[in-house]
Structure 1
Amino acid sequence: MATEWKLFADLAERAGEKRVTVEAAAGDTVGDALEELLADRSDLEDRVLDEEGELRSQINVLRNGTNVLIEEEGLETELEGGDELALFPPVSGG
């Protein structure tokens, strides 16, 4: 089964597209889906992960509109069928 990522702002530019489908199914984690997303996209990986391979603190990861890093179990959050994932860069206000 496939899961779709929506990418926003410069993350979409680095990936070359705004929507990316990855092989991740119910029971996999958000982290598994993120690994699939970054597997062949080194420009995107450099923007999303730090030197230790950890998610950069200012990157937001959403599952069905909910920030998994705040309201769920982070990258260990389990996927369910039909989940929509989104990756946001830092948002600045003004």
Structure 2
Amino acid sequence: MEWRLFANLAEAAGAKHVDVEAGTGDTLGDAFDQLLREHPDLEAIVLDGAGELEDHIRLLHNEGDPFSDGDGFDTVLEADDDLALFPPVSGGRHR
């Protein structure tokens, strides 16, 4: 299973694409835990003091929000699922 990481999250992990051993039948939480175990510098960025996902971090599963569209970290993974982590998005054009 591959995670796509963006901006400072990719910098912390040292790559924009990170493979973890989670696969079909595992949960999103399993894949997330593996990502953090293999790239511990991400933990301080994506988790709050209580060990929960920071409110400003966006985690996507197949381009949707698994916390509103699925079972959150209990979402069961399929072979070709797309996983992504985004930091806060800012910028744009000012007039």
TM-score by structure 1 length? 0.89
Corresponding residue to 1:51 among 49, 52, 57:
49
Map of 2:24 onto structure 1: 26
Q: Superposition RMSD on alpha carbons, in Å? A: 1.2
Deviation at 1:81, TM superposition (A): 1.2
Matches within 5 A, 1:58-77: 58-77=56-75
Question: Is the radius of gyration larger for structure 1 or structure 2?
Answer: 2
Aligned sequence identity (%):
54
CA deviation vs aligned residue, 1:9-63 (integer Å, no higher than 9, x gap)? 1100110000000000111111110000010322111101112211111111111
Please state whether the residue corresponding to 1:86 is helix, strand or coil: strand
Instruction: Note the residue ranges of structure 1 that are not aligned, 5 or more in a row.
Output: none
Preserved CA contact (<8 Å) 1:60 1:69? no
Corresponding residue to 2:37 among 36, 39, 44:
39
Deviation at 1:93, TM superposition (A): 4.9
Cα distance change on mapping 1:92 and 1:69 into 2, 3 Å: farther
Runs of 4+ in 1 over 4 A off after TM superposition: none
Please state whether the residue corresponding to 1:5 is helix, strand or coil: strand
Map of 1:91 onto structure 2: 89
Give the structure with the larger strand fraction: 1
Q: How many residues are aligned here?
A: 92
Map of 1:13 onto structure 2: 11
